[in-house]
Amino acid sequence: MATEDKNRATAAAILPLVGGAANVASIAHCMTRLRLGLHDRSLVDDEALKALPAVMGVVDDDTYQIVLGPGTVARVTPEFEQLVDEAREAAPAPGDTPAVTAVSAEELAAQGAAIKAQRKAKNATPFKLFLRKIANIFVPLIPALIGCGIIAGLNGLLVNLEWLPAVTPALAAMASGFMALIAVFVGYNTAKEFGGTPILGGAVAAIIVFPGVANIDAFGQTLSPGQGGVLGALGAAVLAVYVEKWCRRWVPEALDVLVTPTLTVLISGLVTIFGLMYVAGEVSSAIGTFADWLLSNGGAGAGFVLGGLFLPLVMLGLHQALIPIHTTLIEQQGYTVLLPILAMAGAGQVGAAVAVYFRLPRNESIRRTIKSALPAGLLGVGEPLIYGVSLPLGRPFITACFGGAFGAGFVGLFNQLGDTVGSTAIGPSGWALFPLLDGNHGLGSTIAIYAGGLLVGYVAGFVATYFFGFGKDLLAEFNVSQEPAPSTVAATGNVHPATPPAAPDGPGSDGTDPGASPAKDPARV
């Protein structure tokens, strides 16, 4: 089957299982997930979705998220959007729908709205909602960060080898152009996310990177282009949104098109130049200084703690608070020293999954899940292993965190000894991070330290899980054959291993997101 046909088939299989085109309110995607806003959550068939071969898992959060994996999600989403548009164009006019159907639909919609409200209320704390907004600002920038980061690494390699000197200036321009203007994109996305006019947010943020600010004195010092970076752009755009909303309330409609954008840029711009740029610049400098100090003085211990806590932070959605910090470090230093340390959490997850494979020799269902999900795990895509293996089992999730802690401690130790390991972009981890690595002692040393950290994470996760990941009761419950009874095979003509039962304490008991689906049918991941 051609790739386009395969992606369209996946989209076509998903659409009816989420309630059809009429139930889809919004469509978006991130690195690995198709994110859908749904009118009626009760119309979704979770089990059928998880049974689709292309679906790695589902997460029910503020949006309904279908895990498809990197690359795949970017190709399936346009096909899904096209199918939704085609279905809506072909839908009958409202007058053609029988009255009884309309009443039934309203009842279902009310029921779905109640279910959705219950689920959202459980996790819709102000802090988490704020972090989601921050993530929504920065996540769309990740593809450009990755592409420019890889080009920057390639350019650095060519410069060090003194190859293609006529080409390296062009590569440097490609790698640096986006980072030079990233504040504008952050301002645009911030205004969009906080309910303002995106282009006004971008216009105010553009002040920060305008070369002419070098002629302005504020707080007794001359400003420099880019001072305050993404944090300044974020604050400036948020201010612009509030100024714009204030203007909408007080400016007469006849003058709105002239007065509102003028006042928004003027007021927000003045506050940005004579306040925010200085304050955000000091905060950004403090972040860089603290990160350097932390890893220089307590790298091993800091790495151990950060690597051990990262998987729970991801499950709780709190890792989103680190995105602006990563971006600020990349702006300041050319790379973020935190990401290679946090990436070790995925190594611990891989090691734990391999241990589960050997500890459950009779459970072919889970073993098939592990074999199919390991390649993605090695490339830094952790959802299949998390939702398909460690979370349903419970304790292996904790031992995977220990594996990540030891791997991160290894990388942190070398940072403490003076060998800095960083990443020029955020997003990838695992083996996929190798092209983005950078440091202060040459690429060879940086790659060796990172690879050593992965190896330590694999081994520590394996050992911790193999010896401490299963109690006697849990081992007895899961180390059994998962093949269906002969009567089931005769009736259906197919053999599908059953999904392993949830651990007695259930998903979410370890502090993880209870809205995250533990898994799909492992045999069909």
Amino acid symbol at 219: F
- For residue 146, count other CB atoms closer than 10 A to its CB: 20
Contact 382, 347 (CB under 8 A): no
Q: Which has the closest alpha carbon to 264: 277, 280, 250, 275?
A: 250
CA distance 406 to 385: 19
CA distance 251 to 236: 21
Sequence-distant (≥ 6) Cβ neighbours of residue 413 within 8 angstroms: 299, 300, 303
Contact 87, 12 (CB under 8 A): no
CA distance 323 to 321: 6
Contact 479, 362 (CB under 8 A): yes
Sequence-distant (≥ 6) Cβ neighbours of residue 218 within 8 angstroms: 273, 274, 275, 277, 278
CA distance 273 to 217: 9
Q: Active-site positions?
A: 30
Q: Which has the closest alpha carbon to 67: 434, 373, 500?
A: 373
Residue 219: its H or E element: none
Which residue in this structure is represented by tokens 């704390």? Answer: 125
CA distance 299 to 417: 8
Tokens read off for 279: 């304050």
Contact 10, 69 (CB under 8 A): no
Strands 64-67 and 437-439 come out as unpaired
